[in-house]
Amino acid sequence: MKNLFALFTKKQSLIYKVFLFVISTFLIIYLLPKGGQFKYNFQKGKPWQYENLYAPFSFTIKKEAEAIEKEKEIILANAIPYFDYDATVLKQSESDFKGLLDEVFVDSLYKTSKESAVRLGLSITKNLYKNGVIDGVYPYSEDKIVYLKKGNEIEEIVYSQLFKKEDIPKRIIANLPENASEKLQDLLEKSLFRTIKPNVTLNTKLTEAAKESEIKAINPNRGIIEKGGRIIAKGEVVEGDKFQILNSLKLEYQSQVWSASNYYWLLIGYSLLVSLVFLMLFLFLKKYRPDIFHNNTKVTFIFFNIFLMVFLTTIVVKLDAKYVYVVPICILPLILKAFFDPRVGLFVHVLTILLLGFVVPNSFEYMFLQFIAGIVTILTVSELYKRANLFISVGQITLVYIIGYFAFFLIQEGNIQSMELERFGYFILCGLATLFAHPLIYFYEKIFGLVSDVSLLELSDTNSKLLKELSNKAPGTFHHSLNVANLAEAAANEIGANAMLIRVGALYHDIGKMHNPTYFTENQVNSINLHNDLDPKESAQIIIGHVIKGIEIARKNNLPDRVIDFIRTHHGTSLVYYFYKKEKELNENVNSDDFRYPGPVPFSKETAILMMADSVEAASKSLKEPTSTKIDAFVEKIIDGQMEQGQFLNSNITFKEIETIKKVLKKKLNNIYHLRVEYPE
């Protein structure tokens, strides 16, 4: 059990990567469509590139989406509405009419008797309610057939047969006897207007249900292809009916109606392909980016972003596949480039697009556009901390999408008449979504503890709290740090290292000297040297201690680990030579480890450059009457000495790059001291 625990502790990083590999594979497979994959790729308007294709099984030809939409429109236009007829309203209206006439009828005013007027009014009322009085005006033509529901019976009538209240005067005139007076007509009109109540209302629920029923009854198929029948011949252009038949066959392959055996084989196939993609990523990181591979946080960050892109795309495709280009896939290489480098960004982008090929429709077109857009992202986005650069790059990416889609449309359709301009709007939305990279980078920095160029730019501000404190407590050290930053940045630019990172590292590399600033010569304002009263070993420990103190101050102020690395490594494992020599003069048996910095030695080009620039800048202050020859000689001596001590063995820097750095440092120091090449007398 103890041995097992020890093995687990020793291999925990590898075990975590295996777990991450398995869980990522499982999650991606869960998102992928669970249906058969059609093994042929075809495009509308392009020749069939395979051998003659015969139907592997009988299948139905699906109607085009436009045809089904037209059928729906016809059904909705011709749908017969249902109206409810309330028979109780008639009796109530008759009763109200009788009561009203009893109140207002005066025999002396009319030639007709009250009984005759009542009979006439009731007759008109019954006539009005024969098919019913409608409760409003509906957008139907007069000859539109409608269904009138009376109890459990349904009558078919014409919409014009339903009576409207505004037609009462016409109906009264039609039913009055020829000798009827105008006063009687006026009395009946006013009375009926008050007593006639609508008894026919539109049954919306029943009408909509009938529409839905008819729409559901639409046959999505328009024919059958029998097994063995030829679908398309080699070289034949995929268009019209052929294109629709091939799409129908593809849908059958992707149908969810699979047996359990098929389903399990499908999962095995997905598992192998997704595992291959992630295996390639691990191998790439292990061979070309070992620093990322051995950092589980960074590996997790990369896998999380791959899953996020697949998840977002899957959700959008399920909602409506036409919005698939709104998903800002190019944000992936953009963010990875900001935290790592362009090569990692492009490689991960390519692998992610390969996975998305299983999810999206028209996978060839989608993958082509995303590959090109990803390459443009890597080539155009530089110095992300400059906001204008991001806007310019997003504009270029959007333009590439639009040009690529336009080209595909021309190839597939052969004209521009049927082009949907809204598709270009999706690309513009995608570009706008890509601008979300800046806040997303900030979010990732807080969650995963990573550092981007945007954060480095903020840290390089000399008005920041920590650098202000350094300039107040140790002004000499602050000035030295600025000089080192300028030297190191120039050298980094010359060999293609991360100039922004090295500048920030140089600004903070000596913050530990704030603890005892007067023990360092650059901060001594008079000739008094506090080390004269100390033992050489004590002095050496104070000098060495500025590295440990610097790490403590950096952690207290939440400086990123990438910056702390410069504090930790800028002296490597070198000796505090002055005090070591002084101790040796007093005591022959000196333990050199007491005068040696704890290390580690630089493990990147940037930390190696800082060591060289720091040593050279500090030593240049001790030069008396500096000349170009003296500067060249002492730069060579210092850097060659560091190489002999093995300080650069882990920093992945070449001899050629070291020689280039030497030339830059010599040139910069000559400029600082305003020296020219010495001419012979």
Q: Tens digit of pLDDT for each residue in 76-117?
A: 888 899 999 988 888 888 888 888 877 777 765 666 677 777
| Other C-beta atoms lying within 10 Å of the C-beta of residue 198 | 16
pLDDT recorded at residue 674: 61
| Other C-beta atoms lying within 10 Å of the C-beta of residue 265 | 13
- Average pLDDT for 655-661: 94
- C-alpha angle 319-325-327 in degrees, rounded to nearest 5: 75
CB 60 within 8 A of CB 281: no
pTM of the model: 0.65
Amino acid at 407: A
Residue 173 to residues 169, 189, 246, 324, Cα–Cα distance (Å): 6, 9, 68, 66
Question: Locate tokens 């090295």: which residue?
Answer: 502
Element (H, E) at 82: strand 82-85
Find the distance separating the first CA and the last CA of the chain, reported in whole Å: 81
* Domains assigned to the chain: 2-27+31-35+260-448 (no CATH), 77-212 (no CATH), 453-672 (1.10.3210)
Confidence band (pLDDT; 50, 70, 90) for 399? Answer: very high
What HEC string does 315-372 produce? HHHHHCHHHHHHCCCCHHHHHHHHHCCHHHHHHHHHHHHHHHCCCCCCHHHHHHHHHH
Q: Which two tokens stand for residue 309?
A: 């892109």
> Is-cis flag, bond preceding 600, omega within 30?
yes
pLDDT recorded at residue 297: 92
pLDDT recorded at residue 506: 95
Confidence band (pLDDT; 50, 70, 90) for 599? Answer: confident
Give the residue from 259, 255, 313 showing the smallest Cα distance to 37. Answer: 255
Average pLDDT of the chain, as a whole number: 85
Amino acid at 504: V
Which of 138-142, 144-148, 382-386, 650-654 shows the lowest per-residue confidence on average (mean pLDDT)?
Answer: 382-386
